[in-house]
Amino acid sequence: MSTRSTIAIKMDDGKYRAIYCHHDGYLEYNGEMLVNNYKTADRVNALLDLGDMSSLGSEPIGYWDDFKHDKTKCETYRERGEDGVDAMIFDNREDIMDYYSDTEYNYFFENGEWYYLENCSGDLVLKKVKEALGK
């Protein structure tokens, strides 16, 4: 079973750029990976440039290998040969959560900090990923 998530950045115009990530979306993996490895808008945008993915890695490098999982790279659908996987633009966080309604976690990079919302909770108050991880 997969823990699906979205990863987004708030842009200067107030809109959001977002991708889908199929596996390991829970705080202890994707949340930890984002906080530790994607600390600047440039790094986050490099990650989002890869498009939708199966699994998040520590570097914004796309690859695909059905038999070997490399946690330093992102397993991207583009590398698997899929089309229509580019990051999408949304007006607000709620639109992301509505569009990707089957995700459990939604991560947002805003003002140099990672936040999250859980789709199933109905709570729209942003929570800091670092605090949830006890950092």
pLDDT digit string, tens, across residues 92-127: 999 999 999 999 999 999 999 999 999 876 778 899
Residue that is written with structure tokens 């829970």 in the block: 26
- CA 68 vs. chain centroid, Å, equals 21
Q: How confident is the model over 34-55, as a mean pLDDT?
A: 98
Q: How confident is the model over 125-134, as a mean pLDDT?
A: 94
**Maximum separation of any 2 CA atoms in the chain, in Å:** 41
Reference 109, options 130, 135, 134; nearest CA is 130
pLDDT mean across residues, the chain: 94
At residue 44, the 3 state secondary structure works out as helix
Beta strand 62-63 with 74-76: parallel, antiparallel or unpaired?
A: parallel
Beta strand 16-21 with 5-10: parallel, antiparallel or unpaired?
A: antiparallel
How confident is the model at residue 120, as a pLDDT? 72
Reference 15, options 65, 67, 89; nearest CA is 89
10, β-bridge pairs? 16
Rounded CA-CA distance 91/16 in Å is: 6
Banded model confidence at residue 65, pLDDT cuts 50, 70, 90: confident
